[in-house]
């Protein structure tokens, strides 16, 4: 089984790239952020437990994240995954290593200025979850989803002061994760400050390069 991990700060475009890569390579896209937001929307016990962390831009405790991922993986044992937003800490990386075989880890690097610029312009559809960027890819009608007509909202953790905090949390927590994979020869770095299509091509090339080693 070959699984791929996409690492990168919030706003690196991991979600968009993971979705495209999953489609192209025929794998499942597993975003822990999306799974948490679904739990919050359903107001499930897990959703109620994690809501505060997401609102503050803090990491959900490892045991909750790992338990959720494990449950997801055991439901699809013969599938290959693109992990998006997981692992975010060294502990999560060590636990993932025991649950699944990782073939390639792509780190999409983006500067803080670019992250703030992108995320403060991000809007999400309340109905179908589709994301827009009011600067780069706005909807046809302001505040309204092109696909389902749902109302667009700004994620509570996309407020500028929370974005800066999330970026700092990412830098601190993810450095050991990046080193963990670098030491194993699984890591490839991609410059994420470029347009979406350019970054996607670079990611595909990097996956091929690492998988061939
Ligand atoms: P994302 O959509 O990946 O930006 O994640 C949104 C939020 O979900 C993060 O700011 C965290 O609060 C939480 N989260 C998502 N994935 C993880 C993870 N692997 N570990 C801890 N918290 C996470």
Residue nearest to atom 4 of ligand 1 (CA): 10
Q: Structure pTM?
A: 0.86
For the stretch 153-169, pLDDT in tens is 998 889 988 999 999 98
Q: Quick check: is 117 catalytic? A: no
- Residue 212 confidence class, pLDDT cut points 50, 70, 90: low
Strand ranges (DSSP E) for the chain? 3-7, 28-31, 81-84, 102-109, 122-125, 131-133, 152-153, 187-191
Measure the CA angle with vertex 129, ends 76 and 198; round to 5°.
85
CA distances from 152 to 95, 132, 160 (A): 36, 9, 18
Q: Is the CB of 54 under 6 A from ligand 1?
A: yes
For the stretch 180-191, pLDDT in tens is 999 999 999 999
Kindly state the tokens that stand for 145: 């989803």
Residue nearest to atom 19 of ligand 1 (CA): 86
Kindly state the tokens that stand for 3: 């699984």
For the stretch 23-40, pLDDT in tens is 999 999 999 999 999 999
């Amino acid at each position: 089984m070959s699984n791929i991990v996409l690492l990168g700060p919030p706003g690196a475009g991991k979600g968009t790239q993971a979705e495209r890569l999953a489609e192209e390579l025929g794998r499942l896209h597993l975003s822990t952020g999306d799974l948490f937001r679904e739990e919050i929307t359903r107001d499930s016990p897990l959703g109620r437990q994690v809501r505060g962390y997401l609102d503050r831009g803090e990491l959900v405790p490892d045991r909750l994240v790992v338990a959720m991922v494990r449950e997801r993986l055991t439901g699809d044992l013969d599938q290959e995954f693109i992990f998006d937003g997981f692992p975010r800490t060294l502990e999560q990386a060590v636990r993932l290593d025991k649950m699944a075989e990782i073939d390639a880890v792509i780190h999409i690097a983006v500067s803080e200025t670019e992250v703030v610029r992108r995320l403060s312009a991000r809007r999400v559809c309340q109905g179908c979850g589709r994301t827009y960027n009011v600067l780069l890819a706005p909807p046809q009608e302001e505040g309204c989803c092109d696909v389902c007509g749902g109302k667009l909202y700004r994620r509570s953790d996309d407020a500028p002061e929370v974005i800066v905090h999330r970026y700092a949390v990412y830098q601190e927590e993810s450095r050991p994760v990046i080193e963990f994979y670098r030491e194993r020869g699984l890591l490839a770095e991609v410059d994420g400050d470029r347009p979406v299509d350019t970054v996607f091509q670079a990611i595909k090339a990097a996956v091929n390069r690492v998988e061939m080693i």
